[in-house]
Amino acid sequence: MSSTRPTSQAVRIADVARAAGVSVGTVSKALNGTGSLREETRRHVQETARRLGFVADARARGLVSGRTYTVGFVTTDSFGRFLLPILRGAEDALAVGQMAVILADTRDDPAREQHLLRSLRARHVDGLLVTGRSTDPREPLTVDMPVVHAFSPSTDPAGYAVLSDEEEAAVLAVRHLLSLGRERILHLTGPARHRSAQLRARAVERAAGERLTGAVQHGEWSEEWGRRAIDLALASGTAFNAVCAGSDQIARGAVDRLRELDHDVPGEVAVTGIDDWDVIALAARPQLTSVDLCLGEIGRRAGQMLLDLIEGREVAEPRVVVAPRLQVRGSTV
Amino acid sequence: MSSTRPTSQAVRIADVARAAGVSVGTVSKALNGTGSLREETRRHVQETARRLGFVADARARGLVSGRTYTVGFVTTDSFGRFLLPILRGAEDALAVGQMAVILADTRDDPAREQHLLRSLRARHVDGLLVTGRSTDPREPLTVDMPVVHAFSPSTDPAGYAVLSDEEEAAVLAVRHLLSLGRERILHLTGPARHRSAQLRARAVERAAGERLTGAVQHGEWSEEWGRRAIDLALASGTAFNAVCAGSDQIARGAVDRLRELDHDVPGEVAVTGIDDWDVIALAARPQLTSVDLCLGEIGRRAGQMLLDLIEGREVAEPRVVVAPRLQVRGSTV
DNA sequence: GCAGACGGAGCAAACGTTTGCCGTGCGGCG
DNA sequence: CGCCGCACGGCAAACGTTTGCTCCGTCTGC
């Protein structure tokens, strides 16, 4: 059926050497492009290796070379929606360095984290990518290998990190609303205990100034809260012609409720979200204008940085902040 | 705080042996619980190892023992929402076997898949967990190690697999509606080219019989389609008192549109979804009755099965089907 | 024609474990 | 008192690579 043999059980470098009529050292050099060999020999060995379906054993290779071409992806949070794009971006960047990714989901359990780190240490991963759900800083890990934080910052200001600009995200939304001439902006966001909510709220206050109407409303990161917040605002008699929401879910709740009460969106009230989560933003009517935190880009940059550290390259900035991007849709135009 | 150097750079088994005053072989036996040693010696070695922070090098261990305590998680689809719970479940099951998980996201690209499989082979993973977005069967991989398919079936009927029961999921929803006395059921679902949509549609037809109103309506897996489908149904004059949707997104679109047109849900029309995706189901008004495919359970069972295969245990059923579970909420009561 | 240089390939020592086998005491039993 | 057996623990050979050093032959320059 397939000309390629049925997955040869275990073809070692010695088998290639024998088949090619050279020594194992020569095979190694031929396949790795090291040493000094005749081009003809090199090609002959490569051809033989290919024919036999030889794949060098990573364990042995790693044992002697020191590198395992493997990194650990440590997440404090169980894998959530935010982590997928980061993971994907990181994978992309690491793939060019032939690196594989081992998952380590600590589930916020210190004992579990200890155990996983031990496992990663035993496996001699070349480096660690650390991330988490919340953007609340976490204590730095004490390990003797390169570590890059992605999305969730470390408390260590000197550590390597690729972060999102929470404040800029809020500012982009506010500026957009202001540019549309909206002058009575309501800010609905998540729990005050979340750093994200705090940062964004302060940024909104600074950017909107007196155009911010009433106090910032803290609640849950849910559609339900978005809907209820609108009811509360209307009941309190607060006049507003724009809602700057702290998340797409809150924004969608607001849009839904406004529409339901026959307030035109965006005519009467313009609404913005943050996250640009397609499932929510595109399903809303009208579709949500939102700020994309570019998580994929964060993952990619973090992966790139980790790769640079592992391979001993100079890292220009140890602390990169990825700029968010405003995505304009029907809820504001 | 790099002054603390808790992670000893490289403490090998020889260091432990020297510190404990025994040979390396003895240390190995003491730590692995093999060989025959005095209990006193064993404890002394263990204590010494702990004190020095010794962690056995997985590369060397794997090289000689054959096992790497690592499995590959291969997904044809880029990591999507469905894969997270599966991955989490699998991790849980594999953790008890001390197995680490290496990610391999093929992105539906054959070349990429080849490359990743080669990498996994080089790393001598002990087994493979294969999954994908759609439940459309895929060609079996030709690798010389245990393989278990999770969620997405293989075309190989003899292969190991843990699958969801698409048809039963649909049947549960229909039976529930029938038990509520609904006799004019509308079925709105995804694209006809998707096996899931097909299977579920046929199951609905069988379970509802003449209580199925009109033809099955195929569209997208989106809220937008759910809304539009309701408009189409109403425009066509079809009378219905229940909607059995093929996904939560479609169900939510339907609920939203019905409510908007002043049709009472569930009073006038009861609505069911499939997936039990909290983000959608809990945000709807009323909250959606939905069928949970129990993806976490699928992942767990698959991980367990792979572990059994790797450790040479008997696997009772090579093909497990996980029963879905009906979650009743406001959209039907 | 000879010496030195250099290109090209082989040799063997690592890398850090596990594991089967062997040696050595000691105790018990005859 | 002597022998046998057994309980412990050491020894060294794997596992499959990489890599520096060595060695051989040929070419070049004088």
Q: Whole-angstrom Cα distance, residue B269 to residue B289?
A: 13
Alpha-carbon distances of B217 from B190, B230, B238, B274, rounded to whole Å = 8, 10, 12, 16
Residue in B54, B55, B116, B221 to test binding to A, most A beta-carbons within 10 Å: B55
User: Token pair for residue B105?
Assistant: 């996201």
> Per the structure block, which two tokens stand in for B200?
């579920």
Task: At A325, list the tokens.
Answer: 């991007």
How sure is the predictor about B81, in pLDDT bands with cuts at 50, 70 and 90? confident
Q: What is the model's pLDDT at position A79?
A: 61
Q: Which of A105, A124, A283 sits opposite B57 (nearest CB)?
A: A124
Backbone angles phi, psi at A314, to 5 degrees: -70, 135
Which tokens in the block code for residue B130?
Answer: 């294969």
Q: Is the CB of A23 under 7 A from strand C?
A: yes
Residues B286, B265 contacting (CB under 8 angstroms) = yes
Q: What's the mean pLDDT in A135-141? A: 75
Quote the minimal CA–CA distance from B63 to chain A in Å: 6
DSSP calls for B182-215: ---EEEEES-TTSHHHHHHHHHHHHHHGGGB-SS
Choose among B279, B226, B232: nearest CA to B256: B226
What single-letter amino acid sits at A287? Q
Tokens 């790769």, residue? Answer: A307
Q: Is the CB of A1 under 7 A from strand D?
A: no
Q: Residue A138 carries which DSSP code?
A: B
Q: What is the mean pLDDT of residues A42-66?
A: 95
Residues with Cβ within 8 Å of B315's Cβ and at least 6 positions away in sequence, in order, are B160, B305, B308, B309
For residue B149, report the phi and psi dihedrals to the nearest 5 degrees: -90, 135
Average pLDDT, chain A: 92
Per-residue pLDDT for B80 more than 80?
A: no
With CA atoms as reference, report the closest residue to A55 among B143, B245, B208, B195: B143
Q: For B67-77, what is each residue's pLDDT tens digit?
A: 999 999 999 87
pLDDT, tens digit, for every residue of A299-312?
999 999 999 999 99
User: Tens digit of pLDDT for each residue in A276-297?
Assistant: 999 999 999 999 999 999 999 9
Which of A179-193, A301-315, B135-149, B194-208 is the least confident region?
B135-149
Closest of A212, A207, A293 to residue A248, by C-alpha: A293
User: Taking CA B302 as the corner, what is the angle to CA B301 and CA B306, rounded to the nearest 5 degrees?
Assistant: 120
Alpha carbon distances (Å) from B187 to A3, A288, B213, B214: 48, 29, 8, 8
A227-231, B155-159, B164-168, B280-284: lowest mean pLDDT where? B155-159
- The dihedrals phi and psi of A26, each to the nearest 5 degrees, come to -65, -40
Cα B7 versus chain centre, distance: 36
Contact: B101, A98; criterion CB under 8 Å? no
Give the tens place of pLDDT for each residue, A1-11. Answer: 333 333 346 89
Q: What is the CA radius of gyration of chain B?
A: 26
Hey, which residues does A217 pair with through a beta bridge? A188
pLDDT of A9 reads: 64
What's the pLDDT tens digit per position in B15-24? Answer: 999 999 999 9
Q: B6 to chain A: which residues are within 8 Å by CB?
A: 142
- Who has greater pLDDT, A32 or B153? A32
Exposure of B41 by Cβ count < 10 A (0-12 exposed, 13-18 middle, 19+ buried)? middle
Cβ of B64 near strand C (distance < 7 A): yes
**pLDDT, average across residues A184-190:** 97
Residue of chain A whose alpha carbon sits nearest to that of B103: A101
Assess whether pLDDT exceeds 80 at residue A13.
yes
Rounded to whole angstroms, how far apart are CA atoms B254 and B174? 16
CA of B24 to C1' of D10 (A): 9
Are the Cβ atoms of A84 and B84 closer than 8 angstroms? yes
pLDDT value at residue B198? 95
Question: With a 7 Å cutoff on the CB, does B54 touch strand C?
Answer: yes
B294: left (phi over 0), alpha (psi -120 to 50) or beta: left
DSSP A178-193: HHTT---EEEEES-TT
For residues A229 and A271, is the Cβ–Cβ distance under 8 A? no
Task: Report residue B277 as tokens.
Answer: 């995706």
Give the integer Cα–Cα distance in Å for B201 and B215: 10
Question: Which tokens hold the place of A141?
Answer: 């890990």
Q: Pick the residue of A119, A125, A258 with the most B CBs within 10 A to test the interface with B by mutation.
A: A119
| Cβ proximity of A213 and A239 under 8 Å | yes
Q: Would you say the pTM of this structure is higher than 0.75?
A: yes
Nearest nucleotide to A124 (CA to C1') is C16
**Rounded to the nearest 5°, which phi and psi values hold at B173?**
-65, -45
Using an 8 Å Cβ cutoff, are A251 and A223 in contact?
A: no
Residue B7: pLDDT band (50, 70, 90) is very low
| Residue numbers in B near A88 (CB within 8 A) | 78-79, 105
List chain D nucleotides near protein: any atom < 7 Å from a Cβ: 7-12, 14-21
